[in-house]
Structures are given as C-alpha cells and as structure tokens.
Amino acid sequence: MIFKEIFTWWNNQTIGTRIWSFFNGNLIGSDKFGNKYFSNKSGSKRWVLYDGEVDSSKVPPEWNGWLRFTSNVIPSTEKKFFWEKEHEKNHTGTSKAYYPTNSILKNTQKKKMQEYEQWSPKE
C-alpha cells in the first residue's frame, strides 16, 4: 500500500527513506530476515531498511554491531560456532514468549494456587 509508505513510518520505511537510500547509500548486505544494510558514500553513516514490519529486534547481533560501528567486519550468514543459536526477533506478547518454569502464565491453563504456600513471619 503506497499510502502507508508515504504517511506512516511504523508500518514500513517511508518513501523518502527509500529514495534517500537509493541515491546516497551503498548496499552492504542483507540478512536471513530480508533486511538490507546500507552505508553512505563516505562510510560515516549506516542504516537498515527492514523487510516488512519495522522491528529492531529482527536485526541479528552481528549486523547490530556493524550498524553501531562496534565492528567494521561485514557479517556473513554462516554460523561461526556449533553452539550458536539462530537469531529470533523478540516474542514478547506472543504465544512464543518466554515464561520461567513456575510461572502461572506458562501454560494456557492457570496452575492451581494451592501449589504455592503463603509465607508468614514467625510469631
């Protein structure tokens, strides 16, 4: 929808950002989420054009380091270590959200409150 891109930034990048990126940016790379990473001609600015919803938690740690000038190495899509997990966006507020083991929100059915003993101070 062209109107969303023209008038709202929270649904996707604005059309102005896309035009500015086209004329002033060098495409550096992309990640598995389809996000595209750019740098200006002098290399003093770096930015990302998100694929779909604008959500900064979709940026993998390697690209996040590159965006913030922590690293100048352009990240690859390969895993470096066997113990690395695949990056996932933040799932807070969704059915995939993390809950601790004893959380009453962990299961769809609420646990019985009798399982927990109320603490009372010694008298």
Digit-coded pLDDT (tens) for 7-38: 666 666 777 788 888 898 999 999 988 999 99
Q: pTM of the entire structure?
A: 0.65
Pairwise CA distance, residues 52 & 10, whole Å? 10
Digit-coded pLDDT (tens) for 60-100: 888 999 999 998 888 876 767 888 887 788 888 888 888 88
